[in-house]
With several copies, the nearest count.
Chain A
């Protein structure tokens, strides 16, 4: 398939080695074909990742062998469920080097995690005139909850602008910090530009100005080593379904003192210590924030996904995706005439490449690629203000994960030439 291997220039990626081949065999969906018999070329991992057999099996085993509620059952399968659920918490804590599993709150997704912080921490700590600093490249999940909060509390939002290359303008950030914001919240990796932001440096700046820092790690955790202690941040959120885990799983990490001081978000069973008709008090963290029956099977799956990623090694994951991105930027630029590529150079980005073909709407691009089994996203990728910033109505996006291979990027390039051909007829 790769008609490029002979012409490759300075970065000459090795063909997918035996490791990667056998890794692909872990993902049953990669053996499927589409309605035209074409194999799946899944380049939409930033939207949601594929699931390996180990994760599917972990969730399945719960349903088949020990389906029961957790924490309160004094019988064998309930104890097994509790152990598996709390074990998953420990695995997820390890994945991001959280100091203790109790600091991991399980949630449905990154969106819920941010809303939890906005409702619980935010409503208590943001008052009239207080400001929150975000950036122009935030996903709606890390923007709209803060809009609602400042509307309610009469606070302000400020935005770190970006360069045309898609990098945050730190000199403006510096100035915004003079406003003494209470919170700085930004994405670790942009889901449209791919930009990897300098979290540690910006966190130091924010802390020096007295702000807490929340990082949206939805596009970072599955793709690179993340160590919340080394980053020094205060809140870190991510989604399970983007890190090989089932939909319905996700996590908020925050420092113990913060979680302990925060009032509950949702209320109900399991998050309480004592309930009377007119007052109640709360359970310890993390359970204080996990009201009702959690998504036991999905979170067990998330634990399995964390173990799967750690077994590959997050450095290896990062290297692989870096190789894919470098290769994609090179091939697309060279082989797809007129393509517009957004975002910074390969060494400053995660596994995301957004682009447009001149004069062709990304919906049409995606639709034509679909015939060949190639899945890319088209639209605003939940970053409308960022698209406005670049004066784009929409863009197409290819995004990678541990199972992505060069041949898929080759297929994308071939597919894009076909799109151009159809529209040029």
Chain B
């Protein structure tokens, strides 16, 4: 039995944490991996530079779903800056199993989607600030 389908991964897949929708997210993003049909929507509630709330929906393989479950647990309560600093390796450590190259995209889709959501948020704020200053 190899590492990939450990019980806790399957557990996260079957009953993912933070699965659902936020009523009024500050930012949200739908990431997808067209080659495998994986799709994840990440919703974040940010205030004072801290990720207060996080939820996701989507469909995909056990790896992508478990990864999203673990990642959302991890970032809740962190500052935006801390989340932005997370690397793929950090996420892989969190998942704690060996991911083969062919599955890397599945494993990293959640982080990639969070990064996009944060970038959107940053862009929105920069624009808002620009307008205030103008």
In the bound complex, what is the Cα–Cα distance between A380 and B106 (angstroms)?
15
Interface residues on B, range: 20 to 34
Q: Are B102 and A394 in contact (CB under 8 A)?
A: no
State which of B4, B10, B36, B101 has its C-beta within 8 Å of the C-beta of A79: B101
Please, which residues of chain B bring their CB within 8 A of the CB of A285? none
Q: Does B103 contact A (CB under 8 A)?
A: yes
Q: Are A393 and B59 in contact (CB under 8 A)?
A: yes
Q: Does B130 contact A (CB under 8 A)?
A: no
Q: Are A423 and B10 in contact (CB under 8 A)?
A: yes
Indicate whether A82 sits within 8 Å of B36 (C-beta atoms), given known contacts A363-B61, A371-B2: no
Indicate whether A425 sits within 8 Å of B7 (C-beta atoms), given known contacts A79-B100, A83-B101, A363-B103: yes
Q: Are B102 and A422 in contact (CB under 8 A)?
A: no
Q: Does A326 contact B (CB under 8 A)?
A: no
Q: Does B62 contact A (CB under 8 A)?
A: yes
In the bound complex, what is the Cα–Cα distance between A72 and B35 (angstroms)?
8
Q: Are A363 and B36 in contact (CB under 8 A)?
A: yes
| Number of chain A residues close to chain B: CB under 8 A | 28
Q: Are A361 and B60 in contact (CB under 8 A)?
A: yes
Q: Does A367 contact B (CB under 8 A)?
A: yes
- Interface positions of B from 12 to 28, Cβ below 8 Å from A: none
Closest A residue to B11 by beta carbon equals A425
Mask of A340-375 contacts with B, CB within 8 angstroms, 1/0 = 000000000000000000001111100110010000
CB distance from A89 to the nearest CB of B (A): 14
In the bound complex, what is the Cα–Cα distance between A83 and B36 (angstroms)?
19
Q: Does A205 contact B (CB under 8 A)?
A: no
CB distance from A358 to the nearest CB of B (A): 13
State which of A78, A273, A387 has its C-beta within 8 Å of the C-beta of B102: A78
Please, which residues of chain B bring their CB within 8 A of the CB of A79? 100-102
Please, which residues of chain B bring their CB within 8 A of the CB of A384? 34
Residues of B within 8 A of A (CB): 1-2, 4-5, 7, 10, 34-39, 59-63, 100-103, 106
Instruction: Give me 30 A-to-B residue pairs in the complex whose CB atoms sit less than 8 angstroms apart, sorted by A's number.
Output: A72-B35, A78-B102, A79-B101, A79-B102, A273-B34, A360-B62, A361-B36, A361-B38, A361-B61, A362-B61, A364-B62, A364-B63, A367-B4, A367-B103, A368-B4, A371-B1, A378-B36, A379-B35, A379-B36, A380-B35, A380-B36, A380-B37, A384-B34, A387-B37, A393-B36, A393-B38, A393-B60, A394-B36, A422-B10, A425-B10
